[in-house]
Amino acid sequence: MSSSSSSASSSSSSSSEDGNGNGHGARRGGGDFEGPSLTRRRGNNEIWPGPFVEDLVVKVAIDASRSIGRLAAAGAIAHVFQVCGKKWKYGVRVQEKEQEKVCSTWQAVSRSDPLWHRLTSVIWGRTHRMHTTWHEEYVYRHQTSQNFRLGRSVHVTLHFDPTGVDIPDGLTCRCLTLSDTHLACGFADGTVRLFDLATRLHVATFHPQHGDRFGRFSRAVSGIIITDPRIIFATLDGDIYVAIIEGQHQVRRAHIGNIVDDGTLVDFTGCGRWWVGLYAGVPGRAIHIWDGNTEELVYVNTTLTDRESLRGWHMLTELTEAIGRVRVTSQESAVACTSNKYMVLDLRNPAFPLHDRDSARGFIVNSLDTSNEAFIIVDNRGRAIVRRADTLEELCRFNTRLGNLMGCMNLGYALLCAAGVIRVWGIEHGQYLYSFGENIGAVNAMAGDDRHVAAASSNSTIHLWDFGAQ
């Protein structure tokens, strides 16, 4: 076990160019956060009530996050409590006899768990906590994001028993999925192996007992969803399976694929509410959406992969390059792409796509990923753009100067792997930060969240980097 090192230092200015000389922010500017104005006098001479103070603190945190970055929110919050809580009332300096009353109000607010719940939600996108209090959760998320920015992580390789694989290339890892507690790896022989992130041990194996009906890779895993306590995964032939993580590891087939009518299920993703499949092989049936609660198919349509129909059938018999990719956002939308276009669908009303864009340059399919409400995609000239999925508002862009790559993103950072090296950009301003110290060779799959990054090398090694605050 060793610490991951950086090969380039982080940029000191939010408006400076990235390490390649091309990054720039599209929305945010740099500078220190000044905090609220404390010079305007008010006629009312009463102490601010607690709920008003909470609203003020949240507004200050949001303003700092949007103008400078999420890491700046903590400093802005501290500034409010230190300056306002000690000396000020309605922007006017108070006398000593009122000092105690003012301080007690602000101190009570600063210890309010509902306030820190709101702050953790709006700044870090967390709606459930992993720690005892929401204040501890906020501090942890802040420190972990700071670790990502500075490249402080622990790197390990995960081990599992490779016996029992009955087809050539069966140990090729095709997809990875992270949750707060687990990493799931889907292999070409149809097996899903589950690792506990706390112990980093292999804790479960899920293997459907169904043969290769349409080619030796027809049962290869195309995508995985983890929504504790369930794990859901799909195979290229269109079958979808459900299992209980802490149960007997028995696999139930929730949906029987119809490969003749639908084509090959090239990618599969989702959340607790929705499952989304991307197909190639039959025109007009690219996107399938299921209700995750009832497991019923609720939508089939779009021509996104019509140009890739022949390549879709080839995936059943040979290991090919990615045809398309689909990811979901926190806003109940899906972003799907091929090498020549991308589209955004509202999962609640998919019949009317939100956006459908072609590209003359073409896209690198394996670069598409989402985090919260944003998505990243890189074109064939190495230009990366991060956008809001609902409006296509550009958040930042940068030039990777990389060719064949694979990528993922989290709330604050884009991670792109080329030639075995993972490079990191900050997506709030588009600046290049550093590269991982390890060269992991050719990569078949990659995933990241706000604490972990996982990558599967072509030699079947599973790499994990942990940026969690210690």
Q: What is the pLDDT of residues 375-406, one digit of tens each?
A: 999 999 999 999 999 999 999 999 998 878 99
pLDDT tens-place string over residues 316-337: 988 888 999 999 999 999 999 9
Report the alpha-carbon distance of residue 155 to residue 414 in Å, rounded: 18
Least confident of 40-49, 160-169, 347-356, 401-410: 40-49
Q: Give a three-class secondary structure readout of the chain.
A: CEEECECCCCCCCCCCCCCCCCCEECCCCCCCCCCCCCCCCCCCCCCCCHHHHHHHHHHHHHHHHHHCCCCHHHHHHHHHHHHHHHHEECCEECCHHHHHHHHHHHHHHHCCHHHHHHHHHHHHCCCCCCCCCHHHHHHHHHHHHHHHHHCCEEEEEECCCCCCCCCCCCCCEEEEEECCCEEEEEECCCCEEEEECCCCEEEEEECCCCCCCCCCCCCCEEEEEEECCEEEEEECCCCEEEEECCCCCCCEEEECCCHHHHEEEEEEEECCCEEEEEEEECCCCCEEEEECCCCEEEEEECCCCHHHHHHHHHCCCCCCCCCCEEEECCCCEEEEECCCEEEEEECCCCCCCCEEEECCCCEEEEEEEEECCEEEEEECCCEEEEEECCCCCEEEEEECCCCCCEEEECCCEEEEEECCEEEEEECCCCEEEEEECCCCCCEEEEEECCCEEEEEECCCCEEEEECCCC
Share of the chain above pLDDT 70, in %: 84
**Whole-structure pTM value:** 0.85
CA distance 366 to 445: 9
Contact 193, 205 (CB under 8 A): yes
Domains in the chain and their CATH numbers?
50-81+100-147 (no CATH), 151-466 (2.130.10.10)
Q: Given a cut of 80, is residue 198 above it in pLDDT? A: yes
Under a CB-based contact definition with an 8 Å cutoff, are residues 368 and 381 in contact? Answer: no
405/392 Cα distance (integer angstroms):
23
**CA–CA distance, 451 with 325 (Å, rounded to integer):** 23
d(CA 142, CA 140): 5
Average pLDDT of 103-117? 81
Most confident listed range (33-42, 102-111, 388-397): 388-397
Query: For residue 9, is pLDDT > 60?
Result: no
More confident residue, 177 or 165: 177
**Whole-number average pLDDT of the chain:** 86
Confidence class for position 7, pLDDT limits 50, 70, 90: very low
Percent of residues, the chain, with pLDDT higher than 90: 71
Average pLDDT over residues 292-311: 95
Please give the backbone phi and psi of residue 133, each rounded to the nearest 5 degrees, phi first.
Answer: -125, 160
pLDDT given for residue 14 in this prediction: 33
Range of lowest pLDDT (9-13, 131-135, 451-455):
9-13
Q: For Cα atoms 101, 103, 108, give the angle at the middle one, nearest 5 degrees.
A: 100
Q: Is the predicted pLDDT of residue 369 greater than 70, yes or no? A: yes
